[in-house]
């Protein structure tokens, strides 16, 4: 079991170490420019489901071995399938993480400026719906 210790990183404070092809991710929302607009939780959840973003915390020893080139490395921000993997709680820090298979990572986010603009547009549209009196259905 010393093999898993060799894959630990100083940034992994979760107390969890992925095995095999697993990758440990910490979900996040991109930072948005501050505004006076208050976004309801239902809109926030809907936006989060449209694009699942996460930061790579730890990588299992067999991740991407078959591909030859890793799709991501520790510290990268990535986009993953919204419903992939398992939601786990860090045994050391109590935070929520997502444990996914290596194939569930679709791309590395190199720049978030366009992502932030897209999220701001979605949130503005949702706020306009709320302000216009349109019914907002929470699919969650």
- The residues, any chain, with a CB within 8 Å of residue 116's CB and separated by 6 or more, are 30, 31, 32, 33
Domain locations along the chain: 2-131
CATH architecture of structural domain 2-131 = Roll (2.30)
CA distance 37 to 124: 9
The stretch 6-14 carries a mean pLDDT of 69
**Tokens coding 18:** 């992925």
CA distance 91 to 94: 6
pLDDT digits (tens, 9 = 90+) for 37-96: 666 777 666 665 556 889 999 999 999 998 888 999 999 999 998 788 999 999 999 999
pLDDT digits (tens, 9 = 90+) for 14-28: 999 999 999 999 988
Q: Are 58 and 92 in contact (CB under 8 A)?
A: no
């Amino acid at each position: 079991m010393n093999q898993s210790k060799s894959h630990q990183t100083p940034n992994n404070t979760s107390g969890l170490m992925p095995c095999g092809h697993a990758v440990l991710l910490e979900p996040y929302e991109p930072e948005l420019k501050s505004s006076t607009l208050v976004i309801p939780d239902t809109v926030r959840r809907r936006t989060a489901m449209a694009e699942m973003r996460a930061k790579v915390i730890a990588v299992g020893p067999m991740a991407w071995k078959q591909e030859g080139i890793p799709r991501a490395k520790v510290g990268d921000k990535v986009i993953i399938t919204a419903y992939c993997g398992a939601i786990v709680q860090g045994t050391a820090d109590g935070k929520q993480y997502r444990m996914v298979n290596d194939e569930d990572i679709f791309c590395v986010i190199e720049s978030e400026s366009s992502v932030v603009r897209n999220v701001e547009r979605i949130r503005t549209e949702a706020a306009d719906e709320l302000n216009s009196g349109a019914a907002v259905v929470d699919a969650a």
